[in-house]
Amino acid sequence: MVHFYESSIITTKDGLQCQVYGNEHPFNSILVKPKYIPTDKVESDGLQYRFISGKKMNRLNMWSDKEKLRQYLTNFKIKYPQYVLNSPVHTDDRLFFSVPIDNIERIYYPRKGFSELISMPEGSLDDYLKLVHKFATFLLQSGLRVKDLGITYSTLMGHYNPTISDINIVVYGKENFWKLMKYLETAQHELLRWKTKDEWISFHKRRNRYNTFSEDDFYYLMNRKKSEGFFNERLFVIFAAEKEEETWFQWGEETYTSLGNVTVEGTVTDNFSSVVRPGCYDIKDVSVVSGSVPGDITKVAFYSRDYCMMAYPGEKIQTCGVLERVDCKDGSVYYRIVVGYFDAYMDDRREKEYIKVLL
């Protein structure tokens, strides 16, 4: 087991740019989501194109046309088998991407990038980086320290578009993240605004969540999140990365056996770990809506950030996903539901899986 922070960026020796996905990893590779992939071995017109570092790239989007995505990922597994993890802790053929240690060309660390940016003379920054700097200064008024924050994606890599690129911030530590969210509930700044209902609904439609949530319910749930908004009309997204002592599971300490798809309802007892990926909700008083469940379900885990901070303690949720038996190294057993494994995006589970609050 290796702890390696979410949202760091890894470039590989054959030109892939990957985002570290999660904070717990196998011993000899780092779990990632490939973000930009050269088109010399595999290509799809169903994905966006980018020109980065002198190369024509596809940008992997799991919400693109499903048939084209399925074909692309099938070809990717053939052309880049070294980046597809055969998980020893999952009994089903779950799709995970990982970069073997020997294939790493360079690692871009968000925390180091943030520290470098915040120390730059203002006159040396372009307008985009000045805005990132100003936003970061605003966030630091929450009481967080420079070492608690990072920058990621194109800001960190230096291939941002100065006129349209988002601002993506990483917060190190779940306690720090919740502290920042509490600050943003009441903080004011002349350049700060939150997403309107129309803007959230547009996102709702792009993510294919219209089958799960009504527009009003979706807006209510998303509007209480303070991890996305606009700063001087530039979209910002704030992510959380778990510290090693905060992780809610350790890779290799549990094995997971798939028992099919189920739909259940239950009451949230804890959402502290709902700010990371994979995240989870602890639940109780579970009732089965459809499917067969052989034991008590105590967790709902998810791999999509759409479900971060969606539900709070005391709220009742309904979830549809993969039921798993979890066998722990200490001999204990529990059951959980999982939503959003990468392989879900290749079949009808993409539209059918969900977590929703019963309002």
CATH number listed for the domain at residues 253-357:
2.40.50
- Helical ranges in 207-314 per DSSP H: 215-223
Residue 327's pLDDT is: 97
- CA dist 211 and 351 (Å) reads 7
What are the two backbone dihedrals, phi and then psi, of residue 309, each rounded to the nearest 5 degrees? 55, 30
Residue 359's pLDDT is: 85
- Please name the residue that has the structure tokens 């809506």: 289
Q: How far is CA 12 from CA 5, 100, 105, 170, in A?
A: 17, 9, 5, 22
Residue 31's pLDDT is: 97
Which residues, in sequence order, are bridge partners of residue 334?
A: 326
- Please name the residue that has the structure tokens 């219209």: 210
Helix H or strand E segment including 280: strand 279-290
- CA dist 298 and 266 (Å) reads 9
What are the boundaries of each domain within the chain?
Answer: 2-106, 110-241, 253-357
Residue numbers of the chain with a pLDDT score lower than 70: 206-211
Q: What is the largest CA-CA distance in the chain?
A: 63
Residue type, 246: E
Q: Which residues contact 215 (CB under 8 A, 6 or more apart)?
A: 197, 201, 204
- pTM attached to this predicted model: 0.94
Q: How far is CA 267 from CA 299, 300, 313, in A?
A: 10, 11, 8
Instruction: Kindly tell me the number of DSSP H helices and DSSP E strands found in the chain.
Output: 8, 21
Residue 53's pLDDT is: 87
Helical packing angle, 215-223 and 197-206, nearest 10°: 110
- CA dist 309 and 155 (Å) reads 25
Nearest to 227 by CA among 308, 303, 317, 155: 308
Residue 292's pLDDT is: 93
**Which residues in 150-172 are b (16+ Cβ under 10 Å) and which e?**
bbbbbbbbeebeeeebbbbbbbb
Q: What is the pLDDT of residues 157-215, one digit of tens each?
A: 999 999 999 999 999 999 999 999 999 999 999 999 999 999 988 877 766 555 677 88
Residue 202's pLDDT is: 84
Residue 348's pLDDT is: 86
